[in-house]
Every structure is written in C-alpha cells, then in structure tokens.
C-alpha cells in the first residue's frame, strides 16, 4: 500500500506480557498515526485495548526504538486522518513520541 511499517509493543492488559504488532502508519511531524482496524471485524484489535489500559508503549521505526505515549485522536484530528486513509470509519490513534 506504500505506507511505512512500525513495530508497536504493548503490555497485555490481562496477561501483563509484552505483545508486538507490525502496523502501517502515516508519519506526521514527529508523530506516527496508526489506524485501529481489525480487518472488518466490529471489535477493536487487541493492541488497541492494551493501549486503552496502558497508553505507554514502545515503537520501533527503521531499527530505532522510541518510548511513546499513545492517545486517541481528538477534535478535528479523526476527520483529517480519515481523509489521509481514504477509509471512513477507521478508529484513529495518534502515537506521540516522548
């Protein structure tokens, strides 16, 4: 699809174990914008639920790791990101580098 990929490591909200997921993202300034999609399933992906429980995570981009604090897009951000994704209805999350 032509988008870069990052590795997102979250802590399992139930198990406490570290979980890593490869996700496509849209770079925006120093931030990474990812979309929480579960391949058409109406339920949120597990990594999203893990971030809701603990928004502190680790992101690896091109071999460089960053501690991040994730938050859901707010205000006009979701609409802006939906335009970028060209896929309405995606839940949007903005991962902010610390």
Rounded CA-CA distance 74/92 in Å is 9
pLDDT tens per residue across span 12-26: 999 999 999 999 888
pTM for the complete prediction?
0.80
Q: Does position 94 have pLDDT exceeding 50, yes or no?
A: yes
Q: In the chain, how many domains are there?
A: 1
CA distances from residue 60 to 25, 48, 56, 89 in whole angstroms, order as listed? 12, 17, 14, 26
Q: Which CATH number covers residue 28?
A: 2.30.110.10
Full domain range(s) for residue 71: 5-97
């Amino acid at each position: 699809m032509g988008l870069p990929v990052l590795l997102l490591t979250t802590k399992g909200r139930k198990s406490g174990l570290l979980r890593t997921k490869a996700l496509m993202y849209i770079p925006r300034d120093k931030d990474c914008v990812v979309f929480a999609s579960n391949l058409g399933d109406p339920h949120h992906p597990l990594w999203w639920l893990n971030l809701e429980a603990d928004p502190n995570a680790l992101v690896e981009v091109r071999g460089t790791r960053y501690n991040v604090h994730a938050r859901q897009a707010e205000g006009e951000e979701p609409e802006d990101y939906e335009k970028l994704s060209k896929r309405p209805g995606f839940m949007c999350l903005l991962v902010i580098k610390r």
